[in-house]
């Protein structure tokens, strides 16, 4: 076949693909809302609880002084998506959206004007929400202060900026079948399963994704990604060195801290802050459901080292100099807090042998925590850790991570650790 003919065939194939995408992506615009609907106060209160459970403010708020006004950058493998304004501003928000338009967006990922929403908005989870819950969420959102905030342009890699391609993603990954309870399980477990999957979308972070960004449900809760952090597995592959009891998991979900476990950091901080303000019975149901997966984790073949101060590294060996440097950094920056046992009001930190970040399949969470520290969300009082990013250079960070991995977790070295440290440093330099 001549090269010219091959080019024509390729162009024809692309044209057919584009036309098919446009056909699949077409949805009619729904009429704008003429006047605000009359909304029951009790429905708004119920919607407020659902919005906290669904972490709506977490993604749709870039400026805490302008809640739900959007503009938060959401990093994906396909580029950056910016969340949109969901306040009831008629021009830049969703003030002109009827409940029908809101429902279509939640179930199908289609905006009022008919354009497809990117699945960074987890409509593939919300599709299973009961209509009464969608109605309550609508009531809550439509009673928030209206804020003017035009949508920011997304920054997506070619060809993902061609929005109709989302129609093919929907064919593969959007299941809008109604939620079905499991008759073999308790009412609390079923409530937790519904909230975790349809509303709180735990799998969105804690489940691996395919190359096209869909959930790999054969490995449900097997560990995933969230904002540059590793979201640890919550099933039989859970990396935590300490078993999770239901009581400890419930306390962690509501406060971000539990005995024998690391404090919530990264995106999980905001999750705990939202759940801490939610209906305690709903959070208990989520804990019941998630704990059912965590109970599958087998006893560790190599138990975590006994809590306490970490030892001076052994002399000799090809990495002896790095281990000595790592120990020196540990003694300077970590030992004063982490070498002591943590009590209820002691002010001391978790023994590093129990720090789950040391057991993760890669070092990024540990590096985030060491470099950035941990601060209570929103300036609220709570446990904190200072960041050492301005004090430690590449060699010191690498040595500390290698030392903690060996002597804190008793685990095999992380592959390409130095590259991970460099990536962490470069990421921190980005605006």
C-alpha span between 78 and 120 (Å, rounded)? 10
Mean pLDDT for 373-391 is: 80
Mean pLDDT for 276-302 is: 90
C-alpha span between 154 and 78 (Å, rounded)? 11
Mean pLDDT for 368-381 is: 81
- Residue 361 sits at the vertex; the CA angle it makes with 356 and 366, to the nearest 5 degrees, is 50
* Banded model confidence at residue 344, pLDDT cuts 50, 70, 90: very low
Q: What's the pLDDT at 306?
A: 78
SS3 state at 110: strand
Mean pLDDT for 23-40 is: 73
Given a cut of 90, whether residue 64 has pLDDT beyond it is yes
Contact 364, 371 (CB under 8 A): no
SS (H, E, C) 277-291: CCCHHHHHHHHHHHH
Higher pLDDT: 90 or 5? It is 90
Token pair for residue 245? 């009891």
Helices 41-53, 131-141: axis angle to 10 degrees equals: 100
Given a cut of 70, whether residue 370 has pLDDT beyond it is yes
SS3 state at 14: helix
C-alpha span between 12 and 15 (Å, rounded)? 5
Given a cut of 50, whether residue 54 has pLDDT beyond it is yes
C-alpha span between 64 and 377 (Å, rounded)? 11
If you count them, how many residues does the chain have?
A: 431
* Banded model confidence at residue 24, pLDDT cuts 50, 70, 90: low
SS3 state at 374: strand
Q: Which range, of 34-48, 63-77, 130-144, averages the lowest pLDDT?
A: 34-48
pLDDT tens per residue across span 11-22 = 555 555 555 655
Q: What's the pLDDT at 325?
A: 97
10 Å CB burial of residue 344 (0-12, 13-18, 19+) is exposed
Given a cut of 60, whether residue 9 has pLDDT beyond it is no
Best CA proximity match to 91, nearest among 134, 32, 36: 32
Given a cut of 70, whether residue 7 has pLDDT beyond it is no
State what percent of residues in the chain have pLDDT above 90: 72
Q: Which helix (H) or strand (E) holds 395?
A: helix 394-403
Q: What's the pLDDT at 42?
A: 93
Contact 62, 279 (CB under 8 A): no
* Sequence-separated (6 or more) residues with CB below 8 Å from residue 132: none
Q: Which range, of 250-259, 295-304, 388-397, 418-427, averages the lowest pLDDT?
A: 295-304
Peptide bond into 159 cis (omega under 30): yes
Q: What's the pLDDT at 345?
A: 45
* Banded model confidence at residue 3, pLDDT cuts 50, 70, 90: low
* Sequence-separated (6 or more) residues with CB below 8 Å from residue 138: 47, 99, 102, 103
Q: What is the DSSP string of 215-250?
A: B-GGGTTS-EEETTEEE---STT---SSPPPHHHHH
Contact 354, 428 (CB under 8 A): no
Tokens 């965590």 correspond to what residue?
294
Q: What's the pLDDT at 341?
A: 54
Burial string for 80-110 (b: 16+ CB within 10 Å, else e) reads ebbbbbbbbbeebbbbbbbbebbbbbbbbbb
Given a cut of 80, whether residue 303 has pLDDT beyond it is no
* Banded model confidence at residue 363, pLDDT cuts 50, 70, 90: very high
* Sequence-separated (6 or more) residues with CB below 8 Å from residue 277: 52
Domains of the chain and any CATH numbers: 27-173 (1.10.760), 187-294 (1.10.760), 320-429 (1.10.760.10)
Q: What's the pLDDT at 179?
A: 92
Mean pLDDT for 377-396 is: 83
pLDDT tens per residue across span 166-220 = 999 999 999 988 999 999 999 999 999 999 999 999 999 999 999 999 999 999 9
Q: Using CA atoms of 189, 178, 137, 187 in order, give the dihedral in degrees to the nearest 10.
A: -20
Mean pLDDT for 9-34 is: 62
Q: What's the pLDDT at 2?
A: 53
10 Å CB burial of residue 265 (0-12, 13-18, 19+) is buried
Q: What's the pLDDT at 8?
A: 52
* Banded model confidence at residue 4, pLDDT cuts 50, 70, 90: low
pLDDT tens per residue across span 211-255 = 999 999 999 999 999 989 999 999 999 999 999 999 999 999 999
C-alpha span between 301 and 181 (Å, rounded)? 36
């Amino acid at each position: 076949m001549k090269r010219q003919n091959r080019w024509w065939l390729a162009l024809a194939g692309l044209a057919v693909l584009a036309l098919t995408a446009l056909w699949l992506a077409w949805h009619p615009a729904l009429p704008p809302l003429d006047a605000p609907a009359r909304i029951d106060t009790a429905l708004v209160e119920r919607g407020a609880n659902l919005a906290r459970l669904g972490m709506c403010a977490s993604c749709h708020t870039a400026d805490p002084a302008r809640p739900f006004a959007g503009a938060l950058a959401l990093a994906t493998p396909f580029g950056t998506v910016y969340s949109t304004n969901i306040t009831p501003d008629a021009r830049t928000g969703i003030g002109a959206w009827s409940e029908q338009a809101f429902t279509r967006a939640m179930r199908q990922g289609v905006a009022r004007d008919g354009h497809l929403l990117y699945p960074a908005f987890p409509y593939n989870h919300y599709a299973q929400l009961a209509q009464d819950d969608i109605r309550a969420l609508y009531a809550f959102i439509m009673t928030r202060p209206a804020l003017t905030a035009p949508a920011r342009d997304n920054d997506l890699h070619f060809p993902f900026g061609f929005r109709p391609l989302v129609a093919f993603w929907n064919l593969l990954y959007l299941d809008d079948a109604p939620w079905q309870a499991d008759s073999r399980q308790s009412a609390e477990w079923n409530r937790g399963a519904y909230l975790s999957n349809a509303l709180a979308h735990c799998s969105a972070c804690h489940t691996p994704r395919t190359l096209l960004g869909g959930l790999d449900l054969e490995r449900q809760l097997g560990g995933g990604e969230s904002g540059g952090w590793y979201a640890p597995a919550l099933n039989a592959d859970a990396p935590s060195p300490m078993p999770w009891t239901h009581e400890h998991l419930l306390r962690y979900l509501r406060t971000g801290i539990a005995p024998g476990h690391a404090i919530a950091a990264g995106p999980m901080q905001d999750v705990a802050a939202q759940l801490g303000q939610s209906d305690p019975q709903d959070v208990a149901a989520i804990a019941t459901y998630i704990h059912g997966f965590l109970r599958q984790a087998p006893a560790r073949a190599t138990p975590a080292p006994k809590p306490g101060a970490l030892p001076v590294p052994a002399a000799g060996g090809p990495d002896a100099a790095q281990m000595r440097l790592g120990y020196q950094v540990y003694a300077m920056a970590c030992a004063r807090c982490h070498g002591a046992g943590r009590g209820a009001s002691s002010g001391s930190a978790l023994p590093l042998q129990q720090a789950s970040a040391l057991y993760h399949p890669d070092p990024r969470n540990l590096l985030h925590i060491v470099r950035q520290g941990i601060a209570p969300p929103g300036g609220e009082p709570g446990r904190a850790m200072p960041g050492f990013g301005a004090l430690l250079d590449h060699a010191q960070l690498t040595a500390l991570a290698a030392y903690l991995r060996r002597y804190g977790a008793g685990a095999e070295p992380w592959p390409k650790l130095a590259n991970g440290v460099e990536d962490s440093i470069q990421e921190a330099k980005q605006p």
